[in-house]
A and B are shown apart, each in its own frame.
Chain A
Amino acid sequence: MSTLYDKIWDRHLVHQEEGKPALIYIDLHLIHEVTSPQAFEGLRLAGRSLRRPDRTFATIDHAIPTINRNLPFKDPIAAQQVATLRDNCREFGVKLYDLDRVEQGIIHVFGPEQGLTHPGMTIVCGDSHTSTHGAFGALAFGIGTSEVEHVFATQCLQQARSKNFRINVEGELPFGVTAKDVILGIINQIGMGGATGHVIEYTGSAIRGLSMEGRMTVCNMSIEGGARAGLIAPDETTFEYLKGRPFAPKGEAWEKAVDDWSGLATDEDAAFDKFAEIDANSLEPFVTWGTSPDMSVKITGAVPELSDARDSGEASSFERMYEYMGLEPATPIEKIGIDRAFIGSCTNARIEDLRAAAKVAKGYKVSSGVNAMVVPGSMQIKQQAEEEGIAEILTDAGFEWRDAGCSMCLAMNEDVLAPGERCASTSNRNFEGRQGRGGRTHLVSPTMAAAAAIAGHFVDVRDWKFKS
C-alpha cells in the first residue's frame, strides 16, 4: 500500500545502495537567471556536458524590470546575469523563452501553461516555489545551485526519501474564500516548520473542487510550511487543463498518458506519517500580520496580543514583529491602512486571479493614497487579460499594468517597497525586507488585495458591493 509520493518516487528510482541516498531520475529541469550561472560555470570548470538539454527549459523572471523592457536595464549587474543565461543556453543547447517571447513569464507559471508539467513527473528548479507543479500530481521541489549543476551533469539527484503528510480539506469554500485562504489557513494551523522533512498530499472535497489554478496556489506555498513538496492527485480537472497545450502529449500518446495518469493516486489504506484536517466551511479570508507566513488572522480578527503566544519564544517573536510591522497588539485588521498593493507572483498571477481582482475593481478607483500594481504571471496571460477586457477594468480603476516577472514578490528588480511602506500582497512571503528593506508585507488573496487597494485599508471582501 503506497502513497502517491511513494509511487512517483519508485517510478524514478535509478539506483539505491544500502546506507546511501537514492539516485532519482529528473524528468524536467526548469531554470532561470538567478540560480543557474554558478551551475553552468561549474560544468565548464569540470569539463562536463549537460546530459539532457531536451529536458531543460529556461525563462527569465526574477531580476527583470516589468516596465520599459525595450530599454537597457538600469541595473548593470542584473543585465549581466540575464546576458549570462542567454550565453549559457546557447552554449549548452537549452531552449530559452526570452523577453521577446509571448511564453515568457514566471517559471512556475510558464511550465504548466506550456504543458511541460505532467502528472507523475519529477520536476526540479533552483527555486523553492517549484512545489507549485505538485498541483498536477508531479513530484516537484526546489533545489540549490549545486543540485542544479548535478542535474545538468547527470539528469539525476541524490535524495533521501521524505515522510508522507496528508492534509485533508473537507467541505465547501464559503463565498469570498479562495485557494489562497485555504493555504494561509493550513500554514497557520501547522506552523512554518510544521511540514519540514515531509511531502504534503492535499486531499478532500475542497481540494477536488478547486480549479488547476487554485490547486497551483495551494501547492505553491507548501514550502512556507517547510514541506519538500506538495501534491494533489491528478483527475479530470488536471487532464482538462493540460489537453492541447504545446508540450502536452497528442493523439494516441494523449490517450495512453491519461490512462497511466489515472492510476496515480494514493492507495486507500496507505499510511501517512502525519495528518491534519481542515474544515473548509470554517475558513475566512486571511491576512498575515507578522513576518512569517504562519502569522495570519482572519479578516474579522485583530493583531494578536502577547498573551496569545504559545510560549516565551513565540512571545519574543511577536515583539519583534510588532516593531518591524509597526503594529499595536489588538489592532483590528480592518483598521490597518495600506500604501501599496501588489497583485502578482507565482502564487497568484494567473488569469483567474486577475479576473477575480478585476471583478472587485470594476467601477471603482484605487484609493488616492495607494499605489497598486498588477504583474501578470506570463506575457501570454497579459495578452489574454487584455483581450478579455480585464486589463482595461484594472487600468481604469488606477492599477498599473505591467509586464510579466517575479517583480515585487522578492523585489530583485526596481519594484520595491520604500522603508515603512505597507503592502497588501498576493505573493507568498512576508519576511522582513522581502519586498524592500523596511517594507511591511501583508499576504492576502487577489480579491482581498484589490479590495484593500480601493478602500485604502483591509476590508472583508465578502461584504463587497460588486458593480456590474
Chain B
Amino acid sequence: MDKFVTFRGTVAPLFRANIDTDQIIPKQFLTRIERTGYGAFLFNDWRFNPDGSKKADFVLNDDRFSGASILVAGPNFGCGSSREHAAWSILDHGFKVVIAPSFGDIFYSNSLKNGLLPIRLDNFLVEELAARAEGSAALQLTIDLEDRLVSDDKGRLAAFEIDDFRRYCLINGLDDIGLTLQHEDRISAFEAKMGR
C-alpha cells in the first residue's frame, strides 16, 4: 500500500445519498480476477450510455473535474455489497480521498486497507463543499492526515476524526497482515487453549 502523504487536490462533487457499491462498480466488472484496472469502470452506468458514449451531465465527464482527486459525496456512501472493487476503482481513477457525512462500514474498512482516505464531516459542511465545487472556480482542498485537517486556500475548514492506529498505518503504508503475524504466538496459544 502507498504511504498516504498530505496533499492538495481538486474536488469533484457527487452529493447524492446512499451511493451504493453497485453504482460505484457494477457487477458486470466483478468477474475479473485482477486487482487493477477498475478505474475505467468507475460509476459505469452513470458515466456511460449503453453504447459506451459518455453521458454529458455526469460529473466525471465534466472537463472541470477531469483531474479531481477528492470526491465529495452524500451520506451513507459505499453502502451495500462488500466488493472491494469499489475502493479499487475509485483509487484507480485517481481519487485519494472521499469526503462524505457517513460511509457504509465495509466500504470504509476496505478504503483504509487500500490507502484511500474516507473522511467523515458534518452533513452541512459536505453539502457546502459540494456546492462550492459546482461553482465557477475549481475547489482545491488540502488534506493533512497528520493533523487531521481539511483546508482550502484561505485556511482551515474542518478537523476530522480517524482512528489513531488506522492513521498511523496509512501514513506509514503498513501492511495489516504483517502486523497481525507479529502476534503469531498469541494466535497459536488461543487455538491451543480454545480447542480450535
C-alpha spacing A192/B78, complex, angstroms: 12
Q: Tell me if A48 and B34 are in contact (CB < 8 A).
A: no
Q: Tell me if A196 and B165 are in contact (CB < 8 A).
A: no
Q: Tell me if B165 and A20 are in contact (CB < 8 A).
A: yes
Q: Nearest Cβ in chain A — how far from B58, in angstroms?
A: 13
Q: Nearest Cβ in chain B — how far from A452, in angstroms?
A: 23
Q: Tell me if A14 and B23 are in contact (CB < 8 A).
A: no
Known contacts A142-B106, A410-B27; A25 and B80 CB within 8 A of each other: no
Q: Which residues of A contact B75 (CB under 8 A)?
A: 193
Partner of A21, one of B33, B34, B163, B181: B163
Q: Tell me if A412 and B76 are in contact (CB < 8 A).
A: no
A411 at the interface (CB under 8 A from B): yes
B109 at the interface (CB under 8 A from A): yes
User: Which of chain A's residues has its CB closest to B46's CB?
Assistant: A432
Known contacts A192-B18, A193-B76, A411-B27; A128 and B81 CB within 8 A of each other: yes
Partner of A146, one of B22, B23, B84, B186: B84
Q: Nearest Cβ in chain A — how far from B188, in angstroms?
A: 10
Q: Which residues of B contact A25 (CB under 8 A)?
A: 187, 190-191, 194, 196
Q: Tell me if A156 and B80 are in contact (CB < 8 A).
A: no
Q: Tell me if B82 and A127 are in contact (CB < 8 A).
A: yes
Q: Which residues of A contact B82 (CB under 8 A)?
A: 35, 126-128, 142-144
Q: Which residues of A contact B50 (CB under 8 A)?
A: 419, 437
One of A75-83, A90-98, A207-215, A373-381 at the interface: A75-83
A170 at the interface (CB under 8 A from B): no
Q: Tell me if B180 and A23 are in contact (CB < 8 A).
A: yes
Q: Which residues of B contact A177 (CB under 8 A)?
A: none
Q: Tell me if A81 and B106 are in contact (CB < 8 A).
A: no
Q: Which residues of B contact A150 (CB under 8 A)?
A: 176-177, 180
A344 at the interface (CB under 8 A from B): no
Q: Tell me if A15 and B76 are in contact (CB < 8 A).
A: no
User: Which of chain B's residues has its CB closest to A437's CB?
Assistant: B45
C-alpha spacing A23/B33, complex, angstroms: 29
A59 at the interface (CB under 8 A from B): no
C-alpha spacing A351/B102, complex, angstroms: 38
B114 at the interface (CB under 8 A from A): yes
Q: Tell me if B31 and A144 are in contact (CB < 8 A).
A: no
Q: Which residues of B contact A75 (CB under 8 A)?
A: 31
Interface, chain A (partner B; CB < 8 A): 11, 14-15, 19-21, 23, 25, 27, 34-35, 37-38, 41, 46, 48, 51, 55, 62-63, 75, 77-78, 80-81, 84, 126-128, 142-147, 149-150, 153-156, 158, 160, 192-193, 196-197, 223, 226, 228, 292, 313-314, 317, 320, 410-412, 419, 429, 431-434, 437
